[in-house]
């Protein structure tokens, strides 16, 4: 949707009205656009971030309103797509993108320019995994029907699955020490634990 509050990264009235309208249309499941798990890294200006506002209470309140307004429109299930762009965070919103390895984008995305990413430290990988779980927990507290862990389209989790992008030789890599899908598996595990 890309119309979140520009500095607070919060959902706004437009979100509530749009999802209410879609629910009135009879949709069985409504899956949001990207909701960023980390407000420092967005895939586009106007992304909602689960870290938006003044803290968890502020965000859960707005997520609850979003859910309520959707349900007022109909019987649609509401699912939050939770995401981290990794290296696909444009210059207009992120000055220092992070990725599994410092491999820059090799293909242009129309209208976007990108910095070369910095390789994530072990701590940053763990932090990103935890942020997915926190985001899912906030959706749960707000009464949402579920989350979709976005792991496609070149975003962070798919970057960890790509041998062209993930060139790490540690436990987060795909080589001898690493395990294919380790980061994604940990994200799913931590989300389910919440």
Q: Which residues are catalytic?
A: 155
Q: What values do phi and psi take at 84, rounded to 5? A: -140, 130
**Cβ atoms of residues 174 and 166 within 8 Å:** yes
Question: What is the sign, positive or negative, of the torsion defined by CA atoms of 110, 112, 115, 120?
Answer: negative
Beta-carbon contacts of residue 149 (< 8 Å; ≥ 6 apart): 82, 132, 157, 184, 187, 188, 191
Distance from C-alpha of 151 to C-alpha of 10, rounded to nearest angstrom:
23
Distance from C-alpha of 62 to C-alpha of 42, rounded to nearest angstrom:
19
């Amino acid at each position: 949707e890309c119309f979140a509050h520009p500095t607070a990264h919060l959902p706004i009235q437009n979100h509530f009205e749009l999802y209410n309208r879609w629910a009135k249309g009879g949709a069985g499941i409504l899956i949001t656009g990207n909701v960023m798990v980390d407000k420092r890294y967005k895939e586009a200006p106007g992304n909602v971030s689960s870290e938006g506002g003044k803290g968890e209470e502020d965000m859960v309140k707005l997520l609850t309103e979003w859910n309520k307004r959707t349900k007022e429109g109909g019987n649609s299930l509401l699912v939050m797509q939770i995401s981290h762009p990794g290296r696909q965070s444009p210059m207009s919103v992120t000055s220092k993108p992070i990725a599994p390895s410092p491999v820059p984008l090799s293909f242009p995305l129309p209208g976007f320019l990108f910095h070369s990413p910095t390789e994530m430290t072990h701590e940053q990988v763990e932090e990103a995994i935890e942020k997915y779980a926190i985001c899912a927990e906030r959706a749960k507290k707000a009464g949402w029907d579920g989350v979709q862990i976005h792991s496609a389209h070149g975003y962070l989790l798919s970057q960890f699955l790509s041998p062209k992008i993930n060139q790490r030789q540690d436990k987060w890599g795909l080589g001898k020490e690493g395990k294919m899908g380790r980061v994604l598996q940990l994200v799913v595990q931590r989300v389910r634990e919440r």
